[in-house]
């Protein structure tokens, strides 16, 4: 067992815009983060991952960067950042930056130059093509945020590629100058003392040269066969590793939409010299008739099947990252648990148990440790996210589907669910700001907030705190081998972990029903490591209450 810090770490994701506002302008900022470091230290996490804080016109809340070496005006200054980094380090907290280099903002100086003329020295920093004819883009690929993935640019009468918004032109990674710029910029941040990178859509940086039409899935062609895990992606990551990553003691996690376990073994293999781990999305991609917009829950056997496959196939070969939600996903408790008041706390704790006992580095998305829920959207005017705003237009305002049919689906999956402000206390605006927040606070903040939960030893917060502490004392949680039990059960998620002579059993009831359970022989009489309810686990036959979860060792 080769101990590695980022395998043992618990990572906490901060979405700065919604974390804590220090100056009353309604927008979270870096000083706000600094002011809450003690809270994060108290929770016990090891690493903070910050969603982008760089200069940006905020078409996609900072995922459209106009200067990689400057801080977004609304978030503060580089001095504020340096102070935050120093304060975090003082507390033993590491800081991981979001690295968004599949694309830049169209307001980045490289792109402003690039679009000027075909001869410009930055022209090949981006992906320019002639249209099929005057009105038709080079191919049928659709942008992730609706519409074509190509934008016509009058100045040179050519199209540029943008897999996301038209204000996020894709960089041309085949150009060695682009790679050098990116690697130099990464080195600059590493030299500043940051502790790692979360790499945005890093599986999409390499595109096939020919750029053929893609399969038509809904309104537009799908680019994924030609842009995901493209021909040179591993070569570029190995180059990045050699030139930058290998020189520092940092952690890296690749956001890799469309990744399979086979590919993950290459991206995050123990000896492939690319990344430490990847985010896979299979367990959050239960798409329905309107693509990602869907309000159905997973069938438990399917969910287990996916997670078990990742657990077993990566074992000893590559490292997993574990998450139920992030800034692009609905709230975990609303999606995988049960956010009705009588079940919210129990199901939030159950989900935490299920995730933190698996193998991999667990990620906690801000507010998840409080059991924050989805937002009760009443009208499309409440959306702030470009993806939800555009999707509502594309699907509903176009007349393709009725509001009635589409509404439950979009509010179940809107990224804005995760982006409402962190609920700090029960004062106005949940203590997030003294001004008007950029996005509405969830009205349930009077009950669900950090102040109430830190004071209540039985809260979701204290349960997370306990899970995080247990990880420090039980290497089996990090290094133990996973084995599923009761794979056909539609009610219970049950698995064991084994390390040397030690063995641990995790049992999670994913339903709002009472379920009878027989403790496997080898665990009868073992002690309870953690449980979200009181029960007599020394008995062989027990009845689990709704969303009950426990771990025996
Ligand atoms: O997300 C990329 C991604 O593949 C998706 O999860 C996507 O955002 C979306 O949810 C599609 O339905 C990353 C960032 O996490 C996201 O916030 C950015 O908007 C996107 O890249 C572009 O930078
Ligand atoms: Ca602010």
pLDDT for position 134: 76
* C-alpha to C-alpha distance for 352 and 337, rounded to whole angstroms: 10
pLDDT for position 312: 98
* Average pLDDT, rounded, for the chain: 97
* C-alpha to C-alpha distance for 383 and 407, rounded to whole angstroms: 12
The HSE-up count of residue 170 (CA atoms within 13 Å, CB side) is 26
Given a cut of 80, is residue 5 above it in pLDDT? yes
Q: Residue 308 corresponds to which tokens in the numbers above?
A: 């078990």
Query: Is residue 200 among the annotated active site residues?
Result: yes
pLDDT for position 217: 79
Q: What does residue 216 show for φ and ψ, rounded to 5 degrees?
A: -90, 110
- Closest Cα to atom 23 of ligand 1: 63
CB 100 within 8 A of CB 197: no
pLDDT for position 219: 76
CA distances from 35 to 32, 41, 533 (A): 5, 12, 33
Average pLDDT of the segment spanning 179-184: 98
Average pLDDT of the segment spanning 318-343: 98
Q: Using the structure block, give the residue that is written with the tokens 């935490």.
A: 352
In tens, the pLDDT along 407-426 reads 999 999 999 999 999 999 99
Ligand 1: nearest atom to the Cα of 257? 4
Ligand 1: nearest atom to the Cα of 103? 23
Q: Which domains does the chain have, with CATH numbers?
A: 8-104+176-200+251-376+418-467 (3.20.20.80), 109-161 (3.90.400.10), 378-413 (no CATH), 480-552 (2.60.40.1180)
pLDDT band at 242 (very low <50, low <70, confident <90, very high): very high
Average pLDDT of the segment spanning 450-469: 98
Spell out where 56-177 has E strands: 67-71, 94-99, 128-129, 150-153, 158-161
Average pLDDT of the segment spanning 435-448: 98
* C-alpha to C-alpha distance for 233 and 179, rounded to whole angstroms: 12
CA of 521 to the centre of ligand 1 (A): 45
pLDDT for position 86: 98
Average pLDDT of the segment spanning 494-515: 98
- Closest Cα to atom 17 of ligand 1: 328
pLDDT for position 250: 98
CB 333 within 8 A of CB 347: yes
Q: Decide: pTM greater than 0.85.
A: yes
In tens, the pLDDT along 149-160 reads 999 999 999 999
Given a cut of 90, is residue 475 above it in pLDDT? yes
pLDDT for position 1: 73
**Sign of the C-alpha dihedral, residues 139, 143, 146, 147?**
negative
- Closest Cα to atom 10 of ligand 1: 328
Q: Which of 50, 200, 287, 383 to mutate to test the pocket of ligand 1 (most atoms within 8 A of CB)?
A: 200
């Amino acid at each position: 067992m080769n101990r590695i810090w980022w395998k043992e770490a618990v990572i906490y994701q901060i979405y700065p815009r919604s974390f804590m506002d220090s100056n009353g302008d309604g927008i979270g900022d870096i000083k706000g983060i600094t002011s809450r470091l003690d809270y994060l230290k108290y929770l016990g996490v090891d690493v903070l991952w910050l969603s982008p804080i760089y200069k940006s016109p905020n078409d996609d809340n900072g995922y459209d960067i106009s200067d990689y070496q400057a801080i977004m005006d609304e978030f503060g200054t580089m001095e504020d950042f340096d102070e935050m980094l120093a304060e975090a380090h003082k507390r033993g907290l590491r800081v991981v930056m979001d690295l968004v280099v599949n694309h830049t903002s169209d307001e980045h100086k490289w792109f402003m130059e690039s679009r000027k003329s075909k001869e410009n020295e930055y022209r090949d920093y981006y992906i320019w093509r002639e249209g099929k004819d005057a009105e038709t883009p080079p191919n049928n690929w659709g942008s992730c945020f609706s519409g074509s993935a190509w934008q016509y640019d009058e100045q040179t009468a050519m199209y540029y590629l943008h897999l996301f918004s038209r204000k996020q032109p894709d960089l041309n990674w085949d150009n060695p100058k682009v790679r050098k710029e990116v690697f130099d910029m990464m080195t600059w941040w590493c030299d500043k003392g940051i502790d790692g990178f979360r790499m945005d859509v890093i599986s999409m940086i390499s595109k096939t040269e020919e750029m053929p039409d893609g399969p038509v899935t809904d309104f537009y062609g799908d680019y994924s066969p030609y842009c995901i895990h493209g021909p040179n992606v591993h070569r570029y990551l190995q180059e990045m590793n050699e030139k930058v990553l290998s020189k520092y003691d940092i952690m890296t996690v690749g956001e890799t939409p469309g990744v399979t376990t086979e590919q993950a073994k290459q991206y995050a293999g123990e000896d492939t010299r690319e990344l430490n781990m990847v985010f896979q999305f299979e367990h959050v991609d239960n798409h329905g008739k309107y693509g990602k917009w869907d309000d159905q829950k997973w069938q438990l056997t399917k969910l287990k099947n996916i997670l078990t496959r990742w657990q077993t196939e990566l074992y000893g070969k590559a490292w997993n990252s574990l998450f139920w939600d992030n800034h692009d996903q609905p709230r975990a408790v609303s999606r995988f648990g049960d956010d009705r008041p009588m079940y919210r706390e129990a199901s939030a704790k159950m989900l935490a148990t299920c995730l933190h006992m698996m193998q991999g580095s667990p990620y906690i998305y801000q507010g998840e440790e409080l059991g924050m829920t989805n937002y009760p959207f009443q009208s499309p005017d409440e959306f702030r996210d470009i993806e939800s705003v555009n999707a509502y237009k594309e699907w509903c305002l176009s007349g393709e589907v009725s509001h009635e049919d589409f509404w439950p689906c979009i509010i179940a999956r809107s990224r804005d669910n995760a982006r409402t402000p962190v609920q700090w206390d029960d004062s106005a605006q949940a203590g997030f700001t003294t001004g008007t927040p950029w996005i509405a606070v969830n009205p349930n903040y009077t009950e669900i907030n950090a102040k109430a939960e830190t004071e209540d030893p039985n809260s979701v917060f204290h349960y997370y705190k306990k899970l995080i502490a247990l990880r420090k004392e039980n290497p089996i949680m990090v290094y133990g081998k996973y084995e599923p039990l009761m794979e056909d059960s539609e009610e219970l998620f049950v698995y064991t972990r084994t390390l040397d002579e030690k063995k641990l059993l995790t049992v999670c009831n994913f339903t709002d029903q009472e379920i009878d359970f027989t403790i496997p022989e080898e665990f009868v009489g073992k002690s309870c490591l953690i449980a979200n309810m009181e029960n007599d686990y020394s008995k062989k036959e027990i009845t689990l209450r709704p969303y009950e979860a426990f771990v025996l060792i």
